[in-house]
Amino acid sequence: MKTILIVEDHSRVALLIESYLKRGGYNTILSFDGIEAINSFEKNKPDLLILDVMLPGMSGLEIVKKVRKISSVPIIMLTAKSEEKDKLIGLELGADDYIVKPFSPNEMVARVNAIFRRVRFDQPLSISISEPIKYLDLILDPKRREIFYKNNQIDVTALQFSILETLIKSPGQVFTREALLEQIQAEGEIYERTIDAHIKNIRKLIGEPGNKTGLIQTVHGVGYKFE
């Protein structure tokens, strides 16, 4: 049974999320402030983190920064702010998904299920995708869902892995942002700039210099391609 750490300072909201996730078959741990959340994360090593942005002690965005230094665990962020720029901040820091309050608890469970499907923790390995893909200093292993750059393993989120896997399997093909979201089976609210934030993070991880050179290239006005 997968364990989910819920970090939310409003106890009513936290208990509501916990109730629906337990019905969905998940084990849950509750934290009500940022410092407690970090301690709980390090102690319990959850499989997924649901994280409010506004927290006492330490903000949700600061928690994302700290968690991403030690783990690629999936992160869903919660916020009462609806502006796209606020969502992009969390995504650029390494969050996998964003949900705006007020939200449907059933939607929350659906988002969690979607992330675990992408991670494929429990799915049998497919022979057809077992061979690592190598290009220059980059190695992508679909079987183990691992990425190596210059012989060093790179910690990526499940969504980042899926984006890079989609691009590298079709070198030269241009993908629009909408096509990438469809290919990686992203669910819930779709924002045009969401893919941009994840591409930016992937480039940083593999030492990409810019938009028009390197392995992942920007096709102006269209999307991205692996060249």
What's 143's domain CATH number?
Answer: 1.10.10.10
Last residue of some domain: 93, 119, 145?
Answer: 119
Predicted local distance difference test score (pLDDT) of residue 69: 84
**At what angle are helices 84-93 and 194-205 packed, to 10 degrees?**
20
Residue ending a domain, among 101, 119, 137, is 119
State the total domains in the chain: 2
Statement to judge: residues 14 and 67 lie in one domain: yes
pLDDT of residue 120: 54
| Residue 170 shares a structural domain with residue 192 | yes
Quickly state the pLDDT bin for 71 (edges 50, 70, 90). confident
Over residues 107-119, the mean pLDDT reads 83
Can you name the residues that pair with 176 across neighbouring β-strands? Answer: 223
Q: What is the mean pLDDT of residues 10-19?
A: 94
Same-domain check for residues 115 and 191 = no
Mark whether 178 and 154 lie in a shared domain: yes
Identify each DSSP E strand in 18-91 by its residue range: 27-31, 48-52, 75-79
Q: Is the pLDDT reported for residue 102 higher than 70?
A: yes
Mean pLDDT of 122-139: 62
Low-confidence winner among 52-61, 182-191, 194-203 (lowest mean pLDDT)? 182-191
Q: Are residues 100 and 135 in the same domain?
A: no
What is the rounded distance in angstroms from the CA atom of residue 110 to the CA atom of residue 121? 17
Domain match, 114 and 143 both = no
What was the pLDDT predicted at 85? 67
The rounded distance, in Å, linking the Cα atoms of 51 and 31 is: 9
- Residues 45-66: what's their mean pLDDT? 92
Distance CA 121, CA 93 (A): 23
Residues 216 and 186 reside in one and the same domain = yes
Does 20 share its domain with 102?
A: yes
Q: What pLDDT shows up at residue 37?
A: 95
Judgement on whether residues 10 and 77 belong to the same structural domain of the protein: yes
Banded pLDDT at 126 (limits 50, 70, 90): very low
Residue 81, pLDDT > 70, answer no
- Amino acid sitting at position 188: G
CB 154 within 8 A of CB 205: yes
Q: What is the pLDDT of residue 123?
A: 41
15 lies in the same domain as 44: yes
Q: Give residue 206's pLDDT.
A: 81
The residue segments making up the domain with residue 133 are: 127-226
Could you tell me if 50 and 151 lie in one domain?
Answer: no
Q: What are the beta bridge partners of residue 226?
A: 216
* The pLDDT value given to residue 128: 42
| CA–CA distance, 69 with 60 (Å, rounded to integer) | 15
- Tokens standing for 209? 């210099």
Do 95 and 146 lie in one domain? The reply is: no
pLDDT single digits (tens) 153-197:
888 887 888 888 888 888 888 888 878 877 766 544 445 567 888
Domain end call among 119, 137, 172? 119
Domain at 81, CATH number? 3.40.50.2300
So what's the pLDDT on residue 19? 95
pLDDT at 75: 92
How distant, in Å, are the alpha carbons of 52, 69, 149, 162 from that of 206?
Answer: 29, 15, 6, 15
